[in-house]
Chains A and B, each alone.
Chain A
């Protein structure tokens, strides 16, 4: 466990998350990709805190990142519900509401 290995793990999580968010067709799966990337950010933040500067204010920043994850998830669920209700779909390709 060194700073480099922690940051590499975080980079891998973010990379997989970017792949998922870009490739998935189901809205909820896109959200999973985004969540995975934010988890990578959280891990990188934790690693930087522990290995470079264990200042408590960075912990508060971690709480904000966690809050962002919650907001993303709650809003994403609401959007998925809206899409499903309006268009009967859960796929990003069929959600053309803004396009019309």
Chain B
């Protein structure tokens, strides 16, 4: 499929996805409910994933959708655990330095949009790699098991380190808190706490 041959349907589908992604992204910070904000963010991510599928990257797109839906499910639980009120029942505006933040957001968008429109991007018909592999997913699998295996080898330990970081940060006290500096205290006495 050539880029220039993208049909009207593709254009329409992309327009819908893009508008929904941005609108849902804005809704995250507008709605009055943590749960709604979470699912708005999820909607935005799903649209980004589907847009990737539209651009021939089915693996990356589908994994974005799957991962983000799960992440939003976890996030919804978190939101409701930590919000000390019932935000669904009252309007909430929990922002600080609102004007600065709006200016920063608009400024970021303006700078990036200017770059997107003003930079003479190369067309892939003129670059050496004019068309993607016939099966992008398979090519990607070969790539991460071959030429870019080191990348995946690095990402693996980073993920493990993240698990350790998560546990270390969030655990309530360590064994040294429970058992004393020499690990010989009776954990039930809690004399050292």
State whether these chains interact: yes
Asked if A95 lies at the interface with its beta carbon under 8 angstroms from chain B, I say: no
Q: Judging by beta carbons under 8 Å apart, are A75 and B169 in contact?
A: yes
State the CA gap A25–B96 with chains docked (Å): 7
Q: Decide yes or no: A60 and B44 within 8 Å by CB, A7-B112, A28-B78 being known contacts.
A: no
In the complex where A57-B147, A64-B155 touch, is A29 in contact with B94 (Cβ < 8 A)?
yes
Q: Tell me the nearest residue of chain B to A16, going by C-beta.
A: B25
Residues of chain B lying within 8 A (CB to CB) of residue A51: 3, 55, 121, 123-124
**A23: shortest Cβ distance to chain B, in Å?**
3
Give the nearest-CB partner of B40 in chain A.
Answer: A32
How many residues of B are in contact with the other chain, CB < 8 A? 91
Chain A residues lying within 8 Å of B162, measured Cβ to Cβ, are 70-71, 74-75
Of B29, B56, B71, B100, the contact of A54 (CB 8 Å cutoff): B56
Contact code string B59-73 (vs A, CB < 8 Å = 1, else 0): 111011001100100
Residues of B within 8 A of A17 (CB): 25
The answer to whether B74 touches A46 (Cβ under 8 A) is: no
Tell me the bound Cα distance from A19 to B78 in angstroms: 22
Interface size on A, residues (CB 8 A): 71
Instruction: Give B139's nearest chain A residue, CB to CB.
Output: A56
Chain B 113-124 against A: per-residue CB contact (8 Å), 1 yes, 0 no? 101110001111
B28: contacting residue among A6, A32, A48, A70, CB under 8 A: A32
Given contact pairs A54-B129, A64-B155, A93-B96, A73 touches B57 in the complex (Cβ within 8 A) = no
Is B153 an interface residue, CB under 8 A from the partner?
no
Please pick, from A9, A32, A42, the residue contacting B41 in the complex, using a CB distance under 8 A: A32
A53 touches B129 (CB 8 A): yes
Instruction: Give residues 10-29 of A contacting B (CB, 8 Å).
Output: 10-20, 22-26, 28-29
Inter-chain contact B105/A19, CB cutoff 8 Å: yes
List 11 extra interface pairs beyond A14-B112, A15-B105, A73-B71, CB under 8 A. A9-B22, A11-B109, A18-B108, A22-B100, A24-B95, A32-B28, A36-B28, A40-B48, A60-B140, A62-B57, A70-B71
